[in-house]
Structure 1
Amino acid sequence: MQTDYTAESHSRRLASGSIVAPPCGAGGVAIGITTTGSTLNHARAYAAAGLSVVPIKTDGSKSPRGSWKVAQARPATLAEVERAFTGECGVGIVHGAASGNSEVLDIDTADLLEPFVETLDYLAPGLVARLCVVRTPRPGFHLYYRCERVGGNQKLAMRPPAGDAAEAICLIETRGQGGQTLAPGCPPSCHPMRGTYEHHSGPPLTELPTITLAERDALLTAARSFDETPIEEPVVASTEAAGGSLEGLSPGDDYNQRNDWASVLEPHGWILLHRQGDRLFWRRPGKVGEGCSATTGNLSAAGNDLLCVFSTNAHPFAGPTAGRPCSSHTKFDAYARLHHDGDHAVAARELRRIGYGDRPAMRYADAGLADMNPSAPPLSAPRAVRRPSIVCMSDVEPREVNWLWPGRLAAGRLSLLVGMPGCGKSFLTCDLAARITTGTAWPDGPPCRQGSVLFIACEDDPADTIRPRLDAHHADPARVHLLKGVERTERGETTELAFSLADVDALEETLKRLSDCRLVVIDPIGSFLGGRTDAHRDNEVRAVLAPIARLAELYGVAVLIVAHRRKSAGTFADDMALGSRAFTGIARSVWHLSLDSESKGRRLLLPGKNNLGPEAGGLAFSIVGSPARLTWEHDPVAMTADEALARETGGGSGETSALDEASRWLKEILASGPRAGKELKALARGDGISERTLDRAKVDLRVENSPDGFGGPWLWRLPQQYGASLCQDFAESAKDQTLADSGETGPDSEPDGWEAA
């Protein structure tokens, strides 16, 4: 019975550490696992499969025995194979047109295989599982395939000579038109290391897959990403501003140092696909489907981080030209091409105008010196120097906290609102907007300063949801604004890109325009972190929120971050915000919104942490009427968010065990899909969960663990029984949200209390 060769089957083989015999080739010979059976039988099977074979010497030279020019032009007939493969010899395969456009990617060291496969899986998911993979004696790996177009032999990834070594080391290369490789069936004496070639995974050599040109490009791109050879920098015009030379840091060099590639490329529609160490893989704007167009993290001999563009359709970058596999660009060169049609002098002048580069030195120390010595040389421009900035606290004037909503929302600070879907978070933010835009007092009595409100929201439609809710709460729509995207204009054409919190400049420009802005609502935060940010990584979340916190302080505006709550139970409410604990860590106050478990339709707004003042009391409201709106209750709620959480879960005040916490944490993380085990352990450590406790939780939940395809990382995934329950949870949440949107969760008549506005 033949083995079914799929990605799943070869994953099982890798997981078990065994190699299952592949299907039989022509003549019933098992191809590629061992050298059992004669070399002649292997050669017959390869030839029958349309591969051009040659006999190989057994002196360790890996050279063909005799002339092989005919084999480079056409495959041998079976009769020719019988005559050629006599005596002691091995079997080699000649690639290119003679073997039906076969080609081999030769990975020369085994330790490169896993990172290569991980990279390739991002560029062409599932491709590795379809390739025939042979383990070589070095050890290394040969990846076999056919394609409608193959090239000659290419060295794709090199390592420069180190120490006394005279030559660079080839890490990855191709064997294409006119090249040959030794194949399974060779005796050990054919290789200088006296080892055998063995089938490792995928289909046998007699059933080579045919891949597309795009998939071949992905293979070569992944391979080139491991090249360690310093790349030649582009030749650009002078980076000095017009009007003379400048000693010191030029605008172009300063731009290279102060910017990352995301800030250069993403505003122009480039999409980050994958990160492999310091190397990043990018897709050009307008490209449809899978595929990588360029990489960054490629160091030049001068130490600059270069953009290498492989696509020929990535204007204004040239891509492969004059036999080179890619075009290379510094950040300054990319800026000049993207903003100034490649005019580096104009680009340098503009960068100097906005503050890049060392300031030009005065030609002379003063006019008197010039008069005394007109031939004196110009003074050198000062070099940029970094020094610590220290503030003595005795020089700091104390000041009171500037509150937008006294005791609850501080101006110039970040606050966090946490709640389950359907509990009324968006209704609450509309009520806040109504009070601010009309100057209506806060629900607990203090006056409210009138001003504008900025919404950064994507889950609700502006026309059929946000505006009707604002009208129901009697807001002034002329003072409510929605930041819905970032416009990019290039060569007279304007396109709108989705907004993310990485667009700090766009947010700052908006705040400058809205000089009376009092509140910025980000709802929900998870939709605006950007594709490169993992919401469960503390350092990545802080890196995104820290610039927003600085803007809030600079413009004196309160920023309210809306976050979803975890579905599972817990002990401390502030730990229930979905994602990293950095959300609650960087917020100066945290508020929790939940349904009152003892009163249908009643919502509780309860305090979590507050770093800026004494704990404020809780409040309660209902969503009533048609159109739906909030009504607040007069009396405060004498309950904290932790107490409400304990009442909701029936946990009282007892401590939840570490194992229960770890199990809930792991279930929530894996609810969105499989994650790498190493990554999970690092995230768990950041959230205070030991590796031993995490492993116990893994066993408790019966988490499945298997590699992600050939050579890929080991992934943890929830068993199927949890998938069904999580789908039910999401369905219930959606139902809650629908009821909240329609206002049907509250009573028909309005209770006593303050109305929205």
Structure 2
Amino acid sequence: VVKRDDSSLSAGDDYNAKVTWESILEPLGWTKVYSKADATAWRRPGKTEGVSATTNFSGNDKLFVFSTSTIFNSESSYSKFAAYAQIEHSGDFKQAAKALREKGYGASNELKTDWAGLEIHAPSMVQLHDENEEVATSSWIPREIWNENFDEEPPPSMLRREDGHNILYAGKVNALFGESESGKTWVALEAVRQELAKGNCVFYIDFEDSARGIFNRLQTLKCDMEKLKSFKYANPDEPLGEGIGEIMKTEIGKYLPTLIVVDGVNAAMNLLALDLEKNKDATTFSQKILKPLKIFGAGILTIDHVTKSKDNRGNYAIGAQAKRADIDGVAIACDVSLP
């Protein structure tokens, strides 16, 4: 059995500690756009405007790439060692570590052989290693959970009813669905009003109405105008562009909204060229749009339509079954009981 001295410094860790992002990126033609706090924004070679990547955002000493036109994968983060491996060795970490050791990186890196423990290779001896050659694990590997201290499932904490009970879950994807003009948006805006009244921030991503329309409805609900300063509104009318996902995460981290409303799932999927009837596309929408919004524990509330025919609509909104499968909070049907 070959063992690494526990006191050793891996070549990857040593490289991460000694080199700068300037020494990695500038020889490739990358240029600095600006620096804010400890983070630096970069522009890729051949581009004359905009930001293509950041380094050391939130002090993590990582490169995060937005662009799809570089040697790096878009919407991905890299340590300095991972960037070196991608640039010089096509992402082969083993070859990259070997090359760095030959250049003198790493310390006390001697491998020791435990001859007494030598045995024939077996699957139980296989270990995963991360980009810095450290032993790693994977979410794919089953583990024991019998002795873990699980917190109790938090009860609903938003959209308080007249009887005092709450309906919506924080940190989960909740849904409102119903026919057109069934009051779905009004219900969502009441949840918005209540969160603003608590002094919380709310994001509203609107694919169906307008800023004026939503503002007027909040006024009708007698929302405190001073509290509206904590209401952030977006009305997307173009496909999800390069880097928008990372910017959105930054904004969520900055304002920490407790509720994020996505008004018009069908319209949003159409804007993103996703097929409402395909489970794969519904899952893509959930993975790329909805789940990232939960990054800091906000409750997500989607608004969706049902078919006009009550006989054929089933028990959820228009489109693929996967749309319902991705709801991990509560799904609420809105219906008009009085004309």
**Is the shorter-chain TM-score for this pair beyond 0.5, marking a shared fold?**
yes
Distance 1:591 1:333, change over 3 A: closer
> Would you say the 8 A contact 1:417–1:561 is kept in 2?
yes
> Would you say the 8 A contact 1:525–1:562 is kept in 2?
yes
> Would you say the 8 A contact 1:412–1:552 is kept in 2?
no
Distance 1:569 1:434, change over 3 A: same
Does residue 327 of structure 2 align to residue 568 of structure 1?
A: no
Give SS of 1:454's match.
strand
Distance 1:551 1:351, change over 3 A: closer
Unaligned runs of 5+ in 2: 1-14, 26-45, 48-65, 86-92, 111-130, 159-164
Does residue 193 of structure 2 align to residue 458 of structure 1?
A: no
Find the aligned partners of 2:230 and 2:275 in 1 and give their Cα distance. 34
Q: Which residue of 2 aligns with 1:400?
A: 152
Does residue 266 of structure 2 align to residue 538 of structure 1?
A: no
Q: 1:559 Cα shift?
A: 0.4
Q: Which residue of 2 aligns with 1:591?
A: 332
Does residue 86 of structure 2 align to residue 334 of structure 1?
A: no
Q: 1:16-55 counterparts in 2 under 5 A?
A: none
Find the aligned partners of 1:407 and 1:333 in 2 and give their Cα distance. 43
TM-score, normalised via structure 1 length: 0.27
Q: 1:165-314 counterparts in 2 under 5 A?
A: none
Deviations 1:129-179 (A, max 9, x none): xxxxxxxxxxxxxxxxxxxxxxxxxxxxxxxxxxxxxxxxxxxxxxxxxxx
Find the aligned partners of 2:134 and 2:238 in 1 and give their Cα distance. 38
Find the aligned partners of 2:150 and 2:321 in 1 and give their Cα distance. 29
Distance 1:383 1:582, change over 3 A: same
Find the aligned partners of 1:332 and 1:412 in 2 and give their Cα distance. 29
Q: Which residue of 2 aligns with 1:391?
A: 143
Does residue 258 of structure 2 align to residue 518 of structure 1?
A: yes
Distance 1:384 1:395, change over 3 A: closer
Query: 2:308 corresponds to which letter in structure 1?
Result: K
Q: 1:479 Cα shift?
A: 1.2
Query: 1:470 corresponds to which letter in structure 2?
Result: L
Deviations 1:344-367 (A, max 9, x none): xxxxxx954496444865635536
Does residue 119 of structure 2 align to residue 366 of structure 1?
A: no
> Would you say the 8 A contact 1:574–1:590 is kept in 2?
no
Q: 1:381 Cα shift?
A: 7.0
Distance 1:332 1:457, change over 3 A: closer
Q: 1:524 Cα shift?
A: 0.2
> Would you say the 8 A contact 1:454–1:520 is kept in 2?
yes
Give SS of 1:430's match.
helix
Distance 1:354 1:368, change over 3 A: closer
Find the aligned partners of 2:186 and 2:68 in 1 and give their Cα distance. 48
> Would you say the 8 A contact 1:413–1:553 is kept in 2?
yes
Query: 1:484 corresponds to which letter in structure 2?
Result: N
> Would you say the 8 A contact 2:279–2:322 is kept in 1?
yes
Q: 1:481 Cα shift?
A: 0.5
Q: Which residue of 2 aligns with 1:468?
A: 216
Q: 1:451 Cα shift?
A: 0.8
Q: Which residue of 2 aligns with 1:702?
A: none
Does residue 167 of structure 2 align to residue 427 of structure 1?
A: no
Find the aligned partners of 2:135 and 2:273 in 1 and give their Cα distance. 31
RMSD: 4.1
Query: 2:218 corresponds to which letter in structure 1?
Result: L
Give SS of 1:394's match.
coil
Query: 1:421 corresponds to which letter in structure 2?
Result: S
Deviations 1:536-583 (A, max 9, x none): 1112211220355543553111101100111112377523x1111112
Find the aligned partners of 1:409 and 1:466 in 2 and give their Cα distance. 20
Q: Which residue of 2 aligns with 1:556?
A: 297
> Would you say the 8 A contact 1:434–1:473 is kept in 2?
yes
Deviations 1:287-339 (A, max 9, x none): xxxxxxxxxxxxxxxxxxxxxxxxxxxx87xxxxxxxxxxxxxx9992269x9
Give SS of 1:511's match.
helix
Distance 1:569 1:333, change over 3 A: closer
Find the aligned partners of 2:255 and 2:191 in 1 and give their Cα distance. 17
> Would you say the 8 A contact 2:173–2:300 is kept in 1?
yes
Q: 1:586 Cα shift?
A: 1.3
Find the aligned partners of 2:208 and 2:292 in 1 and give their Cα distance. 24
Q: Which residue of 1 aligns with 2:229?
A: 478
* Corresponding residue pairs, total: 232
Distance 1:528 1:368, change over 3 A: closer
Find the aligned partners of 2:276 and 2:321 in 1 and give their Cα distance. 9
Q: Which residue of 2 aligns with 1:34?
A: none
Q: 1:594-673 counterparts in 2 under 5 A?
A: 594-596=335-337, 599-600=338-339
Give SS of 2:181's match.
coil
Q: Which residue of 1 aligns with 2:161?
A: none
Rg comparison, structure with higher value: 1
Query: 1:466 corresponds to which letter in structure 2?
Result: I
Give SS of 1:584's match.
helix
Find the aligned partners of 2:133 and 2:273 in 1 and give their Cα distance. 37
Give SS of 1:562's match.
strand
Structure having greater relative contact order (Cα 8 Å, sep ≥ 6): 2
Does residue 192 of structure 2 align to residue 409 of structure 1?
A: no
Q: Which residue of 2 aligns with 1:223?
A: none
Give SS of 2:275's match.
coil
Give SS of 1:400's match.
coil
Distance 1:570 1:423, change over 3 A: same
Find the aligned partners of 1:474 and 1:465 in 2 and give their Cα distance. 14
Deviations 1:488-544 (A, max 9, x none): xxxxxxxx95548x95323322211212x1111101012222434211111221122
Query: 1:513 corresponds to which letter in structure 2?
Result: K
> Would you say the 8 A contact 2:174–2:331 is kept in 1?
yes
Query: 1:397 corresponds to which letter in structure 2?
Result: N
Give SS of 1:509's match.
helix
Distance 1:435 1:385, change over 3 A: closer
> Would you say the 8 A contact 2:239–2:272 is kept in 1?
no
Query: 1:523 corresponds to which letter in structure 2?
Result: D
Find the aligned partners of 2:218 and 2:68 in 1 and give their Cα distance. 47
Distance 1:582 1:420, change over 3 A: same
